[in-house]
Structure 1
Amino acid sequence: MRQLGGRKCSFLLCLGMSTLICSLIYLRTRTPSEPKPLERTGCNAFSTECSAFLGTEEEVLWYPHDCQIEDYVHNSGLWCSDLTRDLHFITSPLSFEEKSYPLAFILTIHKELEIFIRLFRAIYMPQNVYCIHVDSKSPPEYQAAVRRLVGCFPNAFLSSRSEMVTYAGFSRLQADINCMKDLVKSDVGWKKVVNLCGQDFPIMSNLELVHYLKSKEWRDRNMTPGIKQPQYIRYRTQFQYREIVGSHLARIGAKQLKGPPPHNLEIYFGTAYYALTRAFVDFVLTSETAVDLLKWSRDTFSPDEHYWVTLNNIKEAPSSNVGANWSGAVRAIKWADQESLHGGCKGRYVRGVCVYGLEDLPWIINTNSMFANKFDSKTFPGALDCLEHWHRNKVLTQATVPIQTSWQLSMSSTNSSSYFNMSTAE
Structure 2
Amino acid sequence: MVQLESAKCSFLLCLGICIIFCSAIYLKAKISNTPKVSVLSCQLLPENCPILPSLTPGFRWERQDCPINYIVDAKANCSRLRSELHFITVPLSKEEEDYPLAFIITIHKELEAFVRLLRAIYTPQNVYCVHVDAKASGDYKRSVRNLVRCFPNVFLASVSERVMYAGFSRLKADLNCMKDLMRFPVKWRRVINLCGQDFPIQTNLELVRYMQGSEWRGKNMAPGVKQPSYIQYRTRFQYEEVNDSVAPRGKGQTKGPPPHNLTIYFGTAYYSLTRAFAQYVLNSAVAKDLLSWSRDTFSPDEHYWVTLNHVEEAPGSNVNGGWEGNIRAIKWKDQEGASHQGCKGRYIRDICIFRTGDLLWVVEKYSMFANKFETTSFPEALDCLELWHRHKVLQQALVPVQPSWQLITEVPKSTEGQQQSSTLSYPQIKGSNFSS
Alpha-carbon separation, structure 2, partners of 1:251 and 1:236: 10
1:382, distance to aligned residue in structure 2 (A): 1.3
Report the 3-state secondary structure (helix = DSSP H, G, I; strand = E; otherwise coil) of the residue aligned with 2:191: strand
Match in the other structure for 2:285 = 288
Of 323, 329, 334, 2:320 maps to: 323
Match in the other structure for 1:358 = 356
Alpha-carbon separation, structure 2, partners of 1:133 and 1:64: 32
Alpha-carbon separation, structure 2, partners of 1:180 and 1:36: 33
Note the alpha carbon deviations across 1:379-418, whole angstroms, 9 max, x for none: 1111111111110111000111110111001345745342
CA contact (8 A) 2:70 2:111 kept: no
Match in the other structure for 1:375 = 373
Where do 1:39-58 residues align within 5 Å? 39=39, 41-47=41-47, 49-50=48-49, 53-56=52-55
Alpha-carbon separation, structure 2, partners of 1:203 and 1:268: 27
- The structure-2 alpha-carbon separation of the partners of 1:114 and 1:315, relative to structure 1 and needing over 3 Å to count, comes to same
User: Does residue 307 of the first structure (1) align with residue 304 of the second (2)?
Assistant: yes
Identical aligned pairs, as a percentage? 58
Report the 3-state secondary structure (helix = DSSP H, G, I; strand = E; otherwise coil) of the residue aligned with 1:406: helix
Of 241, 245, 250, 2:247 maps to: 250
CA contact (8 A) 2:199 2:369 kept: yes
- Opposite residue 281 of structure 1, the aligned amino acid is A
**More moved, 273-282 vs 31-40:** 31-40
Match in the other structure for 1:276 = 273
Report the 3-state secondary structure (helix = DSSP H, G, I; strand = E; otherwise coil) of the residue aligned with 2:119: helix
Match in the other structure for 1:16 = 16
- The structure-2 alpha-carbon separation of the partners of 1:265 and 1:411, relative to structure 1 and needing over 3 Å to count, comes to same
1:257, distance to aligned residue in structure 2 (A): 0.3
CA contact (8 A) 2:50 2:359 kept: no
Report the 3-state secondary structure (helix = DSSP H, G, I; strand = E; otherwise coil) of the residue aligned with 1:400: coil
Report the 3-state secondary structure (helix = DSSP H, G, I; strand = E; otherwise coil) of the residue aligned with 1:342: coil
Match in the other structure for 1:131 = 129
In structure 1, the gaps of 5 or more residues are none
Note the alpha carbon deviations across 1:308-344, whole angstroms, 9 max, x for none: 0000000011110012110000000000010112000
Report the 3-state secondary structure (helix = DSSP H, G, I; strand = E; otherwise coil) of the residue aligned with 2:252: coil
Match in the other structure for 1:111 = 109
1:21, distance to aligned residue in structure 2 (A): 3.3
Match in the other structure for 1:67 = 66
1:74, distance to aligned residue in structure 2 (A): 2.9
CA contact (8 A) 2:134 2:162 kept: yes
Report the 3-state secondary structure (helix = DSSP H, G, I; strand = E; otherwise coil) of the residue aligned with 2:422: coil
- The structure-2 alpha-carbon separation of the partners of 1:59 and 1:127, relative to structure 1 and needing over 3 Å to count, comes to same
Match in the other structure for 1:88 = 86
- The structure-2 alpha-carbon separation of the partners of 1:102 and 1:42, relative to structure 1 and needing over 3 Å to count, comes to closer
Match in the other structure for 1:208 = 206
CA contact (8 A) 2:311 2:317 kept: yes
CA contact (8 A) 2:41 2:67 kept: no
Alpha-carbon separation, structure 2, partners of 1:396 and 1:120: 16
Report the 3-state secondary structure (helix = DSSP H, G, I; strand = E; otherwise coil) of the residue aligned with 1:403: coil
**More moved, 19-28 vs 87-96:** 19-28
Match in the other structure for 1:420 = 421
CA contact (8 A) 2:200 2:369 kept: yes
What is the root-mean-square deviation of aligned Cα atoms in Å?
2.2
Note the alpha carbon deviations across 1:232-268, whole angstroms, 9 max, x for none: 00110011111126x1011112331011111111100
TM-score, normalised on structure 1?
Answer: 0.93
CA contact (8 A) 1:65 1:410 kept: yes
Alpha-carbon separation, structure 1, partners of 2:37 and 2:240: 48
Note the alpha carbon deviations across 1:214-247, whole angstroms, 9 max, x for none: 01110011000100000000110011111126x1
TM-score, normalised on structure 2?
Answer: 0.91
Note the alpha carbon deviations across 1:195-223, whole angstroms, 9 max, x for none: 00000000000000000000111001100
CA contact (8 A) 1:411 1:417 kept: no
Q: How many residues end up aligned between the 2 structures?
A: 419
- Opposite residue 55 of structure 1, the aligned amino acid is S
- Opposite residue 352 of structure 1, the aligned amino acid is D
